[in-house]
Amino acid sequence: MNFVVPDFYPAAAEIFVAIMALVVMLASTFARGVRWLAYALTQFTLIAAAFVTIYTLKGDVSYTFSNLFIGDLLGDLLKLLIYFSMAIALLYGRGYLADRNIDKPEYYVLALLMTLGMMVMVTANHMLPLYIGLEMMSLGLYAMVAFDRDSARSTEAGMKYFVLGALASGLLLYGMSMIYGATGSLEFSGIANAVYHQAANKTVLLFGIVFLMAGISFKLGVVPFHMWVPDVYQGAPSAVTLIIATAPKLAAFAMAVRLLIWGLFDVAEQWQSMLMFVAVLSIILGNLAAIAQTNLKRMLAYSGISHMGFMLLGLLSGVVEGDRHYALNAYSSAMFYAVSYVIMSLASFGMIILLSRAGFEADSIDDFKGLNKRSPWFAAMMMFVMFSMAGIPFFIGFFAKLSVLQAVVAAGYLWIAIIAVVMSVIGAFYYLRVVKVMYFDPPVDPAPIHAPAELRVLLSANGLAIAALGLAPQALMSVCAYALLASL
Amino acid sequence: MEAMLQPVADLFGPAWPLVWTLVKIIAIIAPLMICVAYLTLAERKVIGYMQVRIGPNRVGPKGLLQPIADGVKLLLKEIVIPSGSSKGLFIVGPILALAPSLVAWAVVPFDDGLVLADVNAGLLFLLAVTSLEVYGVVVAGWASNSKYPFLGSMRAAAQMVSYEVSMGFALICVLLISASLNLSDIVVSQSSGRFADMGLGFLSWNWLPLLPMFVVYLISGIAETNRAPFDVVEGEAEVVAGHMVEYSGMTFALFFLAEYANMILVSILTSVLFLGGWLSPFGFLPDGFHWLALKTAAILFIFLWVRATFPRFRYDHIMRLGWKVFIPVTLVWVVVVAVWMMSPLSIWS
Amino acid sequence: MEFKTFVFYFLAVILVFAALRVITARNPVHAALYLVLAFFNASGIWLLLQAEFLAITLVMVYVGAVMVLFLFVVMMLDINLDRLRQGFWSYLPVGSLIGVLMAVEMAMVLGGRYFGLDAMPAPPDPQAGYSNTRELGRVLYTDYVYPFELASLVLLVAMVAAVALTLRKRKGTKYINPSEQVAVKREGRVELVKMPAEKD
């Protein structure tokens, strides 16, 4: 038995976050009276983890833990984005949770462990850590959705999310076991090798991919596995909805990329056609169903479904009839889309939290009536977000849509591009309705907005970032492209 | 032995291994049942003398036939099945209670090489089988469709599951230092050491280095078998007789058999795991089965002694002891033992 | 038929029967007990495959602990079966259509064609002295130490989540803390007051 101690260096950030999660748990247990401790330690951990990640950043790809862990630029970049969005989401949500008396230290422990789960997902080089990271993230989320125990809606949403999520995990595991059966490997490079050498049984492999796709679709929340999205978004406390709609999308993107591109690139034609079905349906259904909503969180949920559909457009146009020329461009456009969606969703749910008070949820579109009269500045910020989500030029959302559409057209799927454009025009209706309500309707409640200063400042920065990145999207785009190029 | 049995083996042909195993099973079960019967007598006698009474002395010489009379009485009594009960499960309950306590004997080594099934994962097997005992109680309590049995079985389920955890950790310490899950190997590993070389074998057994675990295991064993002072399951002042309220005749007798068979099992396991099994305590005395029997009897006596001495625990105290005392202690001790083994001070090299 | 084959089919038939009864039993407690039976038979099949560690752990963890707690909860709940069955008939056509479709697809793929012994040969018989438990332990603590440690954190997440969701101080309960009652001192309850004798 010769056992070599693995190289811990590439996984330093994961180890740090894991230890800090335990520290936060114990510290808040033994200092129960200090209410800010868990929150402060969590923010410190996220920031420090970012420094650790940057410090251990390496240009080349490194493997450790007997090849179960992959350290590459893609993973590091996604990790940084995850810390960033988690830190902002926790900051936005803090006052909201305190108003509802659910800012327990456990919330922050779960948030940190969830972050760890996502980090494990983006750095997995093997089905096992991928699945375990997914479970860690999902379990934390299920609990956080149901965190407001006095609200029947929140509990119901948690229950629904949990049951459907468990089902999806089961499907995913089943798919993984089939792929293991076909290729004899759980490691992505091993799978890719078996597929490349045609050693894998194609029927079994396809069978596995179908189940895998079901699992990924559920986690991304796309049609036909989208049923949980509106209910959970609406039922969960807004601070938790904010978390669900942001960082986990990045992790799910990483999961899709690792499984499909690292593992199953040589059967891309097969999974691309499945993704096509999923993406087109999501764009259509998401945009049409969002029109009918009066609840803003529900509307954003449906819009999220369509956004994820758009993101998949990038993933499905990488390989055209065996030609891999477009792959890098297409995948980096998908990544750019995911990142810009996260930035937009942070701002949109942040606005809901901003308008909420103790005992009042600003989650109906009517609650935004006359926002311009109450606070012209934040009405403008909300307008930025809505314009960006609708894909109106020169906001970041426009360039995100543009780049995936370019990829789709380059891959020769003109009809998909036409559907997507038509649907985003239809979708612009409900985004613009919010803007109309803010500027042209009289306010229901003329009271000025009360919110902590840090929320106001950060939300303003977030809104301005949407506009600023729209003016100069090139930097972010090339970072995405570079990360993928260095890792592929 | 093999040669002697050859003619009989030829008689049965290919079915011989099966028949031979059955014979061995009977050779274990039959004496066990007799032991159970006389354990009940011993209990009444011991407690009697501790309370300055004489105990049963009417049936047979010095009351020695009392268990037989009890058995015959129970056999002849009518089995009453309550009309509102779940009939199938009502009968299955007592069977489920008795079966695991007999199955576990398959891996108990009586002497060097004298074991029914010499499996590699014997200790795991024991843990798994003893964890099934709770089903008899739970099923019986639910199937009776009555309040006291139900409450009693709920208590039993919670109590048994809780103490199983600390028992499991105690066993992990044992398997850490003997580096084997095979019970015979565990006994053999206790036969060497500094004291054994000096002829004082009993100081080399596991009980000394694992003293806290030995105590935890013994107390958990009492709790696991639902014996006094942990017998709130059938606490007569609170839930009359717990899960056994509705049972009569032979079905009741099965619960009784299961309880005493479990006591003997826990005692013999304590002897095997902590007290060196069949090993003799002094170098100049030969090893043998009689040592195991003696050790088991001594621990059984402790069981009875404890019952005669301590008042019944309150239920929340039982849970507190299990979760807040035993589990932390055992968890810490597992780490202590592991560190000890890796340190230069290790006595198991 | 070889003895092993007989045992396999014996266990498999009971397993399938028990699994079917889990979903068809009217009484949730019966369903849970059938699930216990199913676990038991599954563990028997694992034993046949010489995976004794997995088999015994299945019994120990699932049958010995998980299902006991499960039964505990199921027995305490008063489940209204009629309400649970509401809508069963209206969903049946869609559900059964999808179910049959999936079953057919699975049968097409999962038959002996792709997973038979000629497609996937059985591993060679282990040598003497092979211990499944030892091998699993060796791999778990060396090659797979990363997911192993992560799995412990997943359990921690579940634990924190369970405690955070269920531990609540409810208002208005008549909970009595016995140890406080026992610890009561005379001084806390009785006050001796010196009064001058009243004269009138």
Predicted confidence (pLDDT) per residue in A79-106, tens digit: 999 999 999 999 999 989 988 888 888 9
Please check whether residues B70 and B196 belong to one and the same domain: no
Do B48 and B94 belong to one domain?
A: no
pLDDT for res C82: 67
Low-confidence ranges of chain B (pLDDT < 70): 1-2, 235-239, 349
DSSP letter for each residue of A103-123: --HHHHHHHHHHHHHHHHHHT
Q: Indicate if B124 and B39 belong to the same structural domain.
A: no
Of A107, A117, A207, the CB nearest to C109: A207
Average pLDDT value for residue range A63-87: 91
Best mutation target among B90, B92, B103, B142 (most C Cβ atoms within 10 Å) is B142
Could you give the CA distance from residue A218 to residue A229 in angstroms, rounded to a whole number?
A: 9
Smallest Cβ–Cβ distance between C56 and the set B86, B128, B316 belongs to B128
Give percent above pLDDT 90 in chain A. 55
Other C-beta atoms lying within 10 Å of the C-beta of residue A126: 26
Residue type, C191: E
Q: Is residue A160 a contact partner of residue A228, using CB atoms and an 8 Å limit?
A: yes
C153 and A116: CB-CB below 8 Å? yes
SS3 of C19, please?
helix
* pLDDT score of C45: 92
Are B165 and B237 in a shared domain?
yes
pLDDT digits (tens, 9 = 90+) for C27-59: 888 888 899 999 999 999 998 888 888 888 888
Q: Are residues B268 and B330 in the same domain?
A: yes
Q: What is residue B6's three-state secondary structure?
A: helix
pLDDT at A46: 95
Chains in contact with A, where contact requires at least 3 CB pairs less than 8 Å apart: C
Strand partners, B64: none
Residue ranges making up the domain that contains B48: 1-76
Q: What pLDDT is stored for residue C130 in this prediction?
A: 76
pLDDT of residue C64: 83
C161 touches chain A (CB under 8 A): yes
Nearest to C147 by CA among A132, B333, A74, A444: A132
Query: If you measure CA to CA, which chain B residue comes closest to C58?
Result: B128
Q: How far apart are CA B103 and CA B129, in angstroms?
A: 7
- Sole residue written with tokens 């902002």: A88
Of C115, C151, C156, the CB nearest to A113: C156
Residue C125: C-alpha distances to residues A352, A371, C54, C122 (Å): 63, 75, 18, 9
**Contact between residue A103 and residue A60 where contact means Cβ atoms under 8 Å apart:** no
Question: Residue A390 is encoded by which pair of tokens?
Answer: 């609708």
Tokens of A278: 């999923």
Model confidence at A1: pLDDT above 70: no
What global pTM score does this model have?
0.88
Q: How far is A175 from chain C (nearest CA, A)?
A: 12
Contacts (Cβ under 8 Å, ≥6 apart) of C6: none
Q: Say yes or no: B150 contacts chain C, CB-CB below 8 A.
A: yes
Residues 6+ apart with CB under 8 A from A234: A153, A157, A241, A295, A297, A298, A301, A363
Chain C residue with minimum CA distance to A105: C164
**Which residues of chain C neighbour A181 with C-beta distances below 8 Å?**
115, 120
Assess whether B105 and B48 both reside in one domain: no
Inside any domain, residue B97: yes
Say yes or no for a CB contact (<8 Å) between A140 and C153.
Answer: no
Q: Does B164 touch chain C (CB under 8 A)?
A: yes
pLDDT at A172: 93
Which of residues B53, B76, B99 is at a domain's end? B76
The C-alpha atoms of residue B78 and residue B65 are separated, in whole angstroms, by 22
Within this chain, do residues B101 and B245 fall inside the same structural domain, yes or no? yes
Indicate whether B316 belongs to any domain: yes
> Whose CA is closest to A391, among A419, A363, A432?
A432
Q: Do B61 and B106 fall within a single domain?
A: no
Q: How far apart are CA B35 and CA A121, in angstroms?
A: 58
| Every domain of chain A and the residues it spans | 9-487
What residues have CB less than 8 Å from A482, skipping those under 6 apart?
A73
Beta-ladder partners of A126: A187
Q: What pLDDT shows up at residue B55?
A: 84
- pLDDT-derived band at C1 (thresholds 50, 70, 90) equals low
- Identify the residue among C101, C131, C146 best suited for mutation to test binding to A, counting A beta carbons within 10 A and taking the highest: C146
- Residues B53 and B126 occupy one common structural domain: no
Question: What digits encode the pLDDT tens for the residues C113-138?
Answer: 777 777 777 777 777 777 788 888 88
| Residue C95: band (very low, low, confident or very high) from pLDDT cuts 50, 70, 90 | confident
Q: Count Cβ atoms below 10 Å from residue A406 Cβ, excluding itself.
A: 17
Q: Output phi, psi for A357, to 5 deg.
A: -130, 180
Determine, yes or no, domain membership for B348. Answer: no
Number of domains in chain B: 2
Q: Are C123 and A79 in contact (CB under 8 A)?
A: no
Q: What is the pLDDT of residue A144?
A: 93
Residue ending a domain, among B11, B45, B76, is B76
Residue A24 has φ and ψ, to the nearest 5°, of -60, -40
Question: B125 and chain C: CB distance < 8 Å anywhere?
Answer: yes
Q: Does residue B347 sit within a domain?
A: no
CA atoms of A458 and A461, how far apart (whole Å): 5
In the numeric block, which tokens belong to residue B48? 């009697």
